[in-house]
Amino acid sequence: MARYDDEGRLRYVGRTTTLAQAAGTALAGMLHRARRGHPWTGWSFSAGWGSRETLNVTLVEPELVVEVGIDVARDASGRWRHAARWHRARPDLSPTDVPRWSPAP
């Protein structure tokens, strides 16, 4: 999951719990593979908090807004420490409708 910061940079903010198969299938139809120049090209992502296992990731265009439930705990970088709970896609919103990301104080 990502949000834009005050400088317009796409910031990694956390991950979701595993999606139910129906939700994953529906979501896949709303995502588009990233074009060249995605800001996270070459990054690796861990499978979980404190895990050394990395995930096989397909980068997508950062265009879809989703609604999630989060625990307020953040790590030193300001990212959500616990996985977010998926609620629904919000195709009625654009990333510019989402408040900008700021690290935890």
Residue 104 lies in a domain: no
Q: Which CATH number is 85's domain given?
A: 2.40.50.140
Residue 103 lies in a domain: no
pTM across the whole model: 0.76
- CA-based nearest residue to 83, from 54, 52, 47, 56: 47
**Tokens 């120049």 sit at which residue?**
37
Average pLDDT of the segment spanning 91-98: 94
Residue 3 lies in a domain: yes
pLDDT in tens, 34-43: 989 899 998 8
Residue 35 lies in a domain: yes
pLDDT mean across residues, the chain? 85
Residue 10 lies in a domain: yes
User: What is the token pair recorded at 50?
Assistant: 């404190």
Residue 105 lies in a domain: no
Which one-letter DSSP state was computed for residue 94?
A: -
Contact 22, 88 (CB under 8 A): no
- CA-based nearest residue to 62, from 99, 20, 9, 23: 9
pLDDT band at 31 (very low <50, low <70, confident <90, very high): very high
What's the structural domain count of the chain?
A: 1
- Which pLDDT score, from 0 to 100, does residue 49 have? 64
User: How far is C-alpha 16 from the chain's CA centre?
Assistant: 8
Residue 61 lies in a domain: yes
pLDDT of 25 strictly over 70: yes
Question: What is the residue range of 59's domain?
Answer: 1-98
Residue 81 lies in a domain: yes
Rounded-to-10 torsion of CA 60, 2, 8, 42 = -50
What ranges in 1-105 are assigned the alpha helix state H?
A: 21-28
